[in-house]
Structure 1
Amino acid sequence: CPLFAYRFLNRAAQKIEGDIRSDGSIAKPWRLSTMQQVEDFKTIIRILPLWSTSIFLGTPLAVQTSMIVLQALSMDRHIGPHFKMPSGSVIVIVLLSTAISLTLIDRFLCPVWQKLTGRSPTPLQRIGLGHALTILSMALSALVESKRLKLAKANHLQPVVPMPAVWLFPQLVLAGIGEAFHFPGQVALYYQEFPVSLRSTSTAMISLVIGIAFYLSTGVINLVQRVTEWLPNDINNGKLDNVYWMLVVVGVLNFGYYLVCAKLYKYQNVEGVDVNSGSADSEK
């Protein structure tokens, strides 16, 4: 073993010497990394497990976004005697819920939380609440779809079920509130923990998560269509509620994985933590 270590170190030294010119400059700088680059890479590796949980958090939301339009098409979308809501506009409820929730969280919930606990909610706590609310949204989606399917069968599988589309609003409101918690929490976490040289990369992590989640949701839908009969061309003949229950199970497992990652994670940029939030150890 000592002989092997000596040979390894000798070869490494010769390799480094070969990359240095006679004037002291580096001939192949891309083969050598500074200490700061190594530490930056280690920071990214530490946060990747937490980041990966966001992918399986965004995938159920992407599936819900796709399926909710089909549900709205098969429901009564009239609001009042003279207005019929377009099926694609149902998604706006999520955006409105997120915008309103962000205002309430920043202006009401966070100050109340700080008065009661003496600290502001941490990014990990915000993300955790987002996980829980997303799971509740999927469970409520499954219950609403079960009721819709019962009405569809009772009315001999008519194309439009005599069920108001406003039944879809509560689950979308929950999804919007969840997004108001976990997306800003992720931005705060990545911006706080990433080194200064990678701050621009930290803000792009959310866009990357959303892109991967939507691509993955397409694969999930295709897989369900191939393996099961839950998603036929006519959802009145299918079992969309089972798809939502499947997403609930995936969400619960992913939430457990997130709790483990959050428990084991230790803040690297302690100075970036809000003084009112306490240290990382106090959060754990």
Structure 2
Amino acid sequence: MASSVSGDTEAQSSGDPSNKHGGWITFPFMMATMLGLYITSFGWVMNLIVFLIEEFNIKNIAATQISNIVNGCIGMLPVVAAILADSFFGNIPVISASAFISLTGILLLTLIASLDYLRPRPCERGSILCESPSKLQLGILYTALALATTGTGGTRFSLASAGANQYEKPKDKGSFFNWYFLALYAGAITGATAIVYTQDNASWKLGFGICAVANLVSFIVFVSGKRLYKHDKPMGSPFTSLIRVVVAATVKRKAVISNKEEDYHCGLPKPTKTSAAMPSKSFRFLNRAALKTDDDLNQKDGSVWRLCTVQEVEDLKAILRVLPLWLAIIFVSTPMVMQTSLMVLQALVTDRGIGPHFKVPAGSLQVIVLISASIVIMMNNWLVYPMYKKLTHKPLTPLQKVGVGQVLTILSMAISAVVEAKRLKTVETEHLMSVLWLFPPLVILGIGEAFQFPANIELFYGEFPESLRNTATSLTSVVIGISFYVGTALTDLIQRTTEWLPDDINHGRVDHVYWVLVIGGVVNLGYFLVCSWFYRYRNLQGDNEQDPKDVST
């Protein structure tokens, strides 16, 4: 990677002489911006549950629900940012605006932590009666969270697209994505350790203040390099052609589908390698959108909504084929996000002391997942996947990687259930269990993420139409966002119908919750395996001879 940074000076001077922007000269600005913004976002998100419980006297489960909603929004907003960037403004303005919005939210959080009248009075020691926050205090808190969440969601995946757009060569784009993930994990680990430790052991004001400084520096650095960036021009919404296919197929729903190639509109003199000349037999109803009729030729103004190309039809079909798999990925991600939230509550009632002078911050437990995922991702790329290919003479497909990740996730839930049952027994003896017991399931969860997360991006990016690939890379974030919402609803349902999740989990049965997640994970794995069995890749190397018409009908 490092060689790529220093070795492409020629790309700047060669090629189109009018191209004076972009290239590796923008790399320091992008890298500094990414690192600072990721330290900021993970620094305030990772310890949010503890902040709500300790500083706003919000009950444990309610704090978990608020954290899930915030994380869900952070997962969903990158798609909104991608659509705004692709359709109207471009990546650079969207990132600039989002970084400023994030800075405003972090400054407000710092102000809340600094001024006592913006928070309820602390609970008296030994008392179960605590002062609830006022409507004004909650209003200011939610405003700060909304601003910080909007800014974080607007920059997270837009930075990846904007950085990759600075390069012409695929090799350079790939190298940048490596650096992007390095910055993402480095920022996450720093935020989950150094920032969280500062918040727990020094003060919340200092912890949020450091986040604000990192955000401010990132914003200044990014704006300073603006004149060097290659600015992508908005090309209009990529979803328009998909909507046109549905409209055209509906308008011509009574037309008879033809089996002749000349009856379909290709839009090009000759089909290219990436375009289709004849629509596939799956989702046959949509083939009518590319079918040429007399009415299409007679209506000059309205024909754009009556006649689409065969490739536009196939692009929509490609998205429809991925949807069943997308649902399976959502349902396996839900227990993952629930586990990370419940682990924080479990850590708060364990012995977090390691040695005489160090106490593990509850909000930092998630760094175990990040570290194990980072290590295994590198091992997979350098050792596991090459060894598998050498032994079997074929590579692991994205769906196979996701399947391995799902099995590991289920195993992690089962171990979490066993550990929680053991912890509840220690409560009866009034001897707190060591927090180290929570590490093994988190390590396994991180290994599962190392298989699933890159494979999800690989699947969506490879199978989606080219016009939607920027949006496709953010779909993994959408999966995580939806999972937080589903996890919030499931937690609320369990809390309403059982006594497993009281505010004091020492009097609940979190282990039963984990076993429910295990059962749901097994059912979802079966559904995923069925979907994978019938799925045929469009763009997977070595699978090109498979006919996409064999997919869902």
TM-score by length of 2: 0.45
In the alignment, what sits opposite 2:404? 129
RMSD of the alignment, in Å? 2.2
Which of the numbers 481, 493, 500 marks the counterpart of 1:223? 493
Report how far residue 29 of structure 1 moved: 2.6
Which of the numbers 465, 472, 475 marks the counterpart of 1:195? 465
In the alignment, what sits opposite 2:523? 253
In the alignment, what sits opposite 2:168? none
Give structure 2 stretches of 5+ with no counterpart. 1-252, 257-291, 548-553
Letter in 2 for 1:253: V
Give structure 1 stretches of 5+ with no counterpart. 1-6, 156-160
In the alignment, what sits opposite 2:208? none
Letter in 2 for 1:57: V
Residue 474 of structure 2 aligns to a residue in which SS?
helix
Report how far residue 188 of structure 1 moved: 1.2
The Cα offsets for residues 66-124 of structure 1, whole Å up to 9 and x where unpaired, read as 10000000000011110001110111100111101101111111121112111221111
The Cα offsets for residues 222-278 of structure 1, whole Å up to 9 and x where unpaired, read as 000001100001000000000000000000000000000001111222xx42x4x89
Residue 75 of structure 1 aligns to a residue in which SS?
coil
User: Which gives a bigger RCO, structure 1 or 2 (Cα 8 Å, sep 6+)?
Assistant: 1
- Contact (CA 8 Å) 1:119, 1:278: kept in 2 or not? no
Which of the numbers 61, 65, 85 marks the counterpart of 2:360? 85
Name the one with the larger helix percent. 1
Which of the numbers 65, 71, 76 marks the counterpart of 2:340? 65
Report how far residue 43 of structure 1 moved: 0.7
Following the alignment from structure 2 to structure 1, what is the Cα–Cα distance between the partners of residues 294 and 397?
A: 48
Q: 1:34 to 1:70 in 2, by over 3 A?
A: same
In the alignment, what sits opposite 1:43? 318
In the alignment, what sits opposite 2:277? none
- Contact (CA 8 Å) 1:78, 1:84: kept in 2 or not? yes
Identify the range of structure 1 (195-204 vs 179-188) with the bigger mean alpha-carbon deviation.
195-204
In the alignment, what sits opposite 1:265? 535
TM-score by length of 1: 0.86
Q: 1:114 to 1:198 in 2, by over 3 A?
A: same
The Cα offsets for residues 37-81 of structure 1, whole Å up to 9 and x where unpaired, read as 211111111111111101011100111011000000000001111
Query: Percent identity at matched positions?
Result: 51
Q: 1:115 to 1:14 in 2, by over 3 A?
A: closer
Following the alignment from structure 1 to structure 2, what is the Cα–Cα distance between the partners of residues 132 and 66?
A: 20
Residue 411 of structure 2 aligns to a residue in which SS?
helix
Report the count of equivalent residues.
260
Following the alignment from structure 1 to structure 2, what is the Cα–Cα distance between the partners of residues 75 and 9?
A: 68
Report how far residue 166 of structure 1 moved: 0.8
Following the alignment from structure 2 to structure 1, what is the Cα–Cα distance between the partners of residues 343 and 545?
A: 42
Letter in 1 for 2:428: K
Letter in 2 for 1:197: S
In the alignment, what sits opposite 2:480? 210
In the alignment, what sits opposite 2:416? 141
Following the alignment from structure 1 to structure 2, what is the Cα–Cα distance between the partners of residues 180 and 191?
A: 17
Identify the range of structure 1 (188-197 vs 107-116) with the bigger mean alpha-carbon deviation.
188-197
